[in-house]
Chains A and B, each alone.
Chain A
């Protein structure tokens, strides 16, 4: 089972690939839109890449609730455990 930090690291790499934001900036408390300036379309690309990487399904309705990096990591942890 991947740890919270392992998921954050992998997610940070995805955010970096999609947007060019340094992976080190992608910390749990950061807001995707307000702190990292990830717009709604980039967020879709991050989500699709994350679905593949973590083998989970993140429906559009859920994406709206993933405000921070921590929200996304928690969602992925729960989805993997389910």
Chain B
């Protein structure tokens, strides 16, 4: 005899209910970077659009930044910590991998034993987390999911690497995702190209690096032109596919919030997508640097502060990076 199993019923849709961010405290202008790479402020701005980046100050950690962003996201959403039944934390810079950060953040917030886990897919992490949260809510697995993107890159950057020394920053962003009767988060378009796994990577395995005769921390390396070609041109196609699958066009969009990798990539994507002038484009990288999994919520946060993002706006999010991996979806701004 076959017993009838009870499966939960999901919500028809999911939506972003609130956003919180935390920018690392220390402002690091290009002037502080240029000597070690024999460069100039102008050179860095021309190649990346970056004027300054945020790095952690005394007392700031991956945990403290994640907690601060998460606490603000809860407050903005009006959801109590006790209502959160899952926490997903996207990061590739947690250098104390055991244990995952998500349970610690959940505990600090005062949640009640939620499912809590980290995901690691670098710059594409936030949109992967958002997609998981959406499916968990629609599948009935969870009701309110906290999605955090957080990175602490500054210790993993080689100050002498001309290709990467000026790019990366530290920070965290979080959203609360909950059930909705109307569409608030559209279908994800995601994928990977593992053949290009070494286009962006850590220079060495941690154990190998620390057991060398002269141990030094591994650092991020990147094949800039290869990544640029993939990001600027292949990702513009993914962005268009995301709009197509959602059933909207660029004319319906209010905001374009790509991963803040490099201003040149953002500009090339916007040109390739033929975005109308009225679509507001996130350009947080100029003052924040590239914060990988944290960059999209941080960029959205700035658009709120600057009055560029308003409740009800439609935003196309597209996250892409090391893997190579990508994920994109349209959301309605809470």
Contacts and interface: CB of A to CB of B under 8 A. Distances in A.
B226 interface: yes
B156 interface: no
Contacts of B46: 39
Interface string A33-46: 00000011101110
In this complex, the member of A39, A43, A44, A45 whose beta carbon has the largest number of chain B beta carbons within 10 angstroms is A44
B226 A41 contact: no
Interface string A5-45: 00000000000000000000000000000000001110111
A41 B47 contact: yes
B273 to A, nearest CB: 15
Interface stretch (B111-119, B227-235, B275-283, B291-299): B227-235
Of the four ranges (under 10, 10 to 19, 20 to 34, 35 or more), the interface on chain A belongs to: 10 to 19
B225 interface: yes
B47 A60 contact: no
A56 B229 CA distance: 16
Main secondary structure of the interface of A (DSSP, over half): helix
Interface string A50-68: 0000000000100100000
Contact of A48 (B47, B226, B233): B233
Interface of A: 39-41, 43-45, 47-48, 60, 63
18 contacts: A39-B46, A39-B47, A40-B228, A41-B225, A41-B228, A41-B264, A43-B225, A44-B228, A44-B229, A44-B232, A45-B232, A45-B268, A47-B229, A48-B229, A48-B232, A48-B233, A60-B225, A60-B226
Interface of B: 46-47, 223-226, 228-229, 232-233, 262, 264, 268
